[in-house]
Structure 1
Amino acid sequence: MALQQSTQGARTAGLQQAAFQPLQQEVFANLQHAPFYKGLLKPFKGKGELDQLAEQCRSLEANLNTLAQERILAQAQRFPFTLLPIRMTHQHTSAGPVFLRWQQSGTRKMGVGLWADLCRHDLVTETLLQDLHAMELQRIALNMQISLVHAIERQANECAEKMAQATAVYTERLQQIIQSRGEDAASQQEA
């Protein structure tokens, strides 16, 4: 019944006005991602630079999650989408990132199959279908961006730790060499 009301409402709204507005390029420009890419492709000289890259990734991921929450989910939680038997939600994963998912209302069942089933429903109008398609494309792209940034952050952290370990081994051995030279010089002076 709610789906029927939603599709009737969508018909009267007309095909020109969509209920869902996808993100535009200017929204991403505010995330300042250009310096991030320049910072990724350079010769890293130590742990500090990798820590800085990881921090940039954390910040970018947080900004993408805010974008998902304030721009995508905010729209998905308005009419006519509130009348649908599925809803878009955000899901925290055990690895850390937060992704957008489709969830059946009133249950824990999740997945893109719910979205596909809804799109195939005879009562879904062309306008609503267009909105659902735009939402799904936006969800897929944003999830990919969050995943990539999180993976780069994780790799930068791992690389920073490995560089710190390599520097510790180097420093320890260098100190042994310097100490050995000092002992050799002292014994030569005694002789």
Structure 2
Amino acid sequence: SQVGERMQVPPMVSAVRVGGERLYRLARRGVEVERAPRPIHVRSWHWLEFDLPRARFRVCCSSGTYVRTLAHDLGASLGCGAALESLRRLSSEPFDLTRCVTVRDLYVLPPEAVWERAGIPLDDALGSLPALTLDETEVRAIGYGAAIALDRDRAAAAPLAAGPRSLVLRDPAGRALALGEARPDAAGAGFLAHPQVVFPWAVREGRPSAP
């Protein structure tokens, strides 16, 4: 079965970093390096058409899964080889094809029409991400780009080292202020929430005042 959890080796033509350099940059120079396998989860796999030498399928998988590698690995397991001819992403929560516009639409339609057809409120777009609620002192600190200290209870509610935009930082009213990442501090004794993208309405000018 193709469904379930497994380990996947990312392809050389990918944005994964090895030794501080993107794999696709190495691939362009003809360099191939060892890549550590990563855990993925294939939630569902449906065959839509099977007419050899071509086949079509629909897959629902976790973020970070390389579908072309799924095809390659399937061919390897069958002993015949396989390559992905085309790929179409149908959805990436909360976005799907029902609210899409073409590149041409972006050029010819007024912004209001594009928003009406494809716009999603920010809080809806970020609704699938874990969030931390800040107090007023922390809200001010985020406005200056400062990291927020987290106790173990708050750190336990956040994904650690999951990527620079893996966590939503919200004010007490629930408004999104920034996207960031929770990481252990330099001493390894605690945790910090680092803002990576601070939204314009949260940015504060100048320097923070002394308490």
TM-score (norm 1): 0.27
**Which is richer in helix?**
1
Q: Pick 1 or 2: higher relative contact order, CA cutoff 8 A, min separation 6.
A: 1
TM-score (norm 2): 0.25
